[in-house]
């Protein structure tokens, strides 16, 4: 029962009429006349969660669709689980381990859809997510419109997901979307987007150099090619929190710091290619300010480059005074070791939070079963 999804996430597939050639013929003609959506799922060591993601993809009410799962050289049972779901509509491909960006590129290369839906192997789509977004585009959609939706976080208890709006949850021009993202340190979860193939081709492949924030950089390029961003409030994505285990978590990894800096440089270049105004430069300075602390103390070279870039944009980075806790840890262990202790504390807190939510999920699920 661990993979049973309560409430609105109790997925059921629509039944295709099995009798009456007229009804079936009309249904097939209507489906074939509609754009196909490719649901692309990169998977790496996703054994505990993959079933939920695949069921949510299979249950999508929009037809026609295809589902492509690319296993990124998993060392657990991810590939075997995916194989159990194979069908004419769901294809599974085994790849050597090359990372998330390369795996998404492989899935995109194999896809045939008019629209692209990315879905991480531990996340879940509401059953009508794609349908609501396609309906918002209308019968003759402009392929240069980028569609987004709402998303909320959960650990184990899907039914406790809260959807908290941000300044990005509305219709915006591409440049206004990027200004808000960089000004207020906001983002949209990867699966919220529905991308036309025309936009995907204009954006180019995912950047395999990026160990984190590859989705942020990729969708910046999609935005560059877009005419507008259309927000669909009822198109829901359930984002499973990964905590310190998430790909974008930097911690003390100097390689991830370098990759994050590359993504930041690209972000600033992209937005300034759309508009090089005072508000854009101010947003870029705030963007640098929000991220520069993650480079301390391991990468003073990146801190220096961020400060120089802020100055070139007409701003100045400020470095807040560390809290007494950080000062005490630094006095005891040194700056670099103090950050290591912080990382350890973060991991312990995350572990306890996850264990508690899992316990509550199992308890509440058992109560539901007993009441049936």
What is the Cα–Cα distance from 93 to 28, expressed in whole angstroms?
28
Mean pLDDT by 10 residues, the chain (372 residues): 44 38 56 87 96 97 98 97 97 95 97 98 97 94 96 91 96 98 95 98 96 92 98 97 63 82 96 97 96 85 95 90 59 64 74 84 75 66
Picking from 245, 280, 304, the residue at the C-terminal end of a domain is 245
DSSP letters for 166-182: -TTSS-B-HHHHHHHHH
Q: Are residues 21 and 133 in the same domain?
A: yes
Rg (CA), the chain: 22
**So what's the pLDDT on residue 354?**
82
* 152 within 8 A of 162, measured Cβ to Cβ: yes
| Helices and strands of the chain, counted as H and E runs | 13, 8
Buried b vs exposed e over 322-339: b needs ≥16 C-beta within 10 Å? eeeeeeebbeeeeeeebb
What is the Cα–Cα distance from 327 to 330, expressed in whole angstroms?
5
Q: Is residue 45 part of a domain?
A: yes
Q: Are residues 35 and 158 in the same domain?
A: yes
Q: Are residues 105 and 225 in the same domain?
A: yes
**So what's the pLDDT on residue 282?**
97
Residue 252 has phi, psi (to 5 degrees) of: -110, 15
Q: Is residue 140 part of a domain?
A: yes
Picking from 230, 245, 260, the residue at the C-terminal end of a domain is 245
Domain containing residue 23: CATH number: 3.90.550.10
Strand 228-240 and strand 145-154: pairing?
parallel
Half-sphere exposure of 167 (CA within 13 A, CB side): 12
Q: Are residues 127 and 167 in the same domain?
A: yes
What is the Cα–Cα distance from 343 to 298, expressed in whole angstroms?
14
Q: Are residues 40 and 133 in the same domain?
A: yes
Q: Is residue 120 part of a domain?
A: yes
Q: Are residues 287 and 355 in the same domain?
A: no
- Model pTM? 0.85
Q: What is the DSSP letter of 252?
A: T
Q: Are residues 208 and 294 in the same domain?
A: no
* 184 within 8 A of 167, measured Cβ to Cβ: yes
What is the Cα–Cα distance from 244 to 124, expressed in whole angstroms?
20
Q: Is residue 372 part of a domain?
A: no
**So what's the pLDDT on residue 1?**
37
Chain centroid to Cα 278, Å, comes to 30
Picking from 201, 218, 245, the residue at the C-terminal end of a domain is 245
Interaxial angle between packed helices 174-184 and 278-292, expressed in degrees from 0 to 180 and rounded to the nearest 10: 40
| Two tokens, residue 156 | 């184990």
Q: Is residue 209 part of a domain?
A: yes
| Two tokens, residue 38 | 């490719």
Q: Are residues 352 and 309 in the same domain?
A: no
Q: Are residues 260 and 128 in the same domain?
A: no
Q: Are residues 332 and 222 in the same domain?
A: no
Q: What's the sign of the alpha-carbon dihedral 24, 29, 34, 39?
A: positive
What range does the domain containing 346 cover?
324-365
Q: In 3D, which of 111, 353, 162, 327 has the Cα closest to residue 243?
A: 353
What is the Cα–Cα distance from 331 to 200, expressed in whole angstroms?
50
Q: Is residue 1 part of a domain?
A: no
Q: Is residue 44 part of a domain?
A: yes
What is the Cα–Cα distance from 131 to 237, expressed in whole angstroms?
13
Q: Are residues 174 and 78 in the same domain?
A: yes
| Two tokens, residue 170 | 């509305």
**So what's the pLDDT on residue 356?**
86
Tally of domains within the chain: 3
Q: Is residue 98 part of a domain?
A: yes
Q: Are residues 230 and 281 in the same domain?
A: no
Question: Quick one: which H or E segment has residue 362?
Answer: helix 335-371
């Amino acid at each position: 029962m661990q993979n049973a999804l309560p409430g609105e996430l109790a997925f059921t597939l629509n039944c295709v009429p099995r009798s009456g050639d007229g009804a079936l013929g009309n249904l097939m003609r209507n489906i074939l006349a509609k754009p196909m959506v490719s649901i692309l799922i990169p998977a790496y060591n996703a054994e505990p969660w993959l079933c939920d993601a695949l069921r949510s993809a299979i249950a999508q009410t929009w037809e026609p669709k295809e589902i492509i799962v690319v296993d990124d050289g998993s060392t657990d049972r991810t590939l075997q689980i995916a194989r159990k779901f194979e069908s004419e509509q769901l294809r599974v491909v085994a790849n050597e381990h090359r990372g998330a960006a390369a795996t998404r590129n492989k899935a995109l290369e194999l896809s045939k859809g008019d629209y692209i839906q990315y879905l991480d192997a531990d996340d879940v789509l509401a059953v009508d997510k794609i349908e609501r977004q396609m309906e918002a585009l209308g019968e003759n959609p402009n392929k240069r419109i980028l569609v987004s939706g709402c998303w909320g976080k959960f650990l184990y208890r899907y039914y406790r997901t809260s959807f908290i709006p941000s300044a990005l949850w509305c219709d915006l021009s591409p440049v206004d979307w990027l200004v808000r993202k960089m000004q207020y340190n906001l983002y949209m979860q990867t699966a919220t987007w529905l991308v036309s193939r025309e936009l995907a081709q204009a954006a180019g492949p995912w950047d395999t150099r990026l160990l984190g924030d590859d989705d942020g950089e990729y969708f910046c390029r999609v935005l560059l090619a877009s005419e507008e961003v259309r927000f669909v409030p009822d198109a829901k994505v359930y984002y499973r929190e990964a905590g310190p285990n998430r790909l974008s978590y930097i911690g003390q990894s100097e390689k991830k710091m370098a990759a994050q800096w590359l993504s930041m440089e690209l972000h600033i270049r992209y937005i300034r290619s759309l508009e090089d105004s005072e508000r854009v430069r101010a947003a870029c300075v705030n963007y640098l300010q929000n991220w520069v602390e993650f480079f301390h103390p391991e990468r003073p070279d990146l801190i220096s480059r961020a400060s120089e870039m802020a100055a070139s944009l007409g701003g100045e980075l400020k470095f807040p005074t560390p809290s007494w806790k950080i000062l005490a840890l630094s006095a005891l262990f040194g700056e670099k070791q103090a950050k290591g202790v912080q990382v350890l504390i973060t991991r312990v807190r995350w572990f306890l939070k996850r264990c508690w939510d899992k316990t509550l999920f199992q308890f509440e699920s058992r109560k539901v079963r007993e009441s049936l």
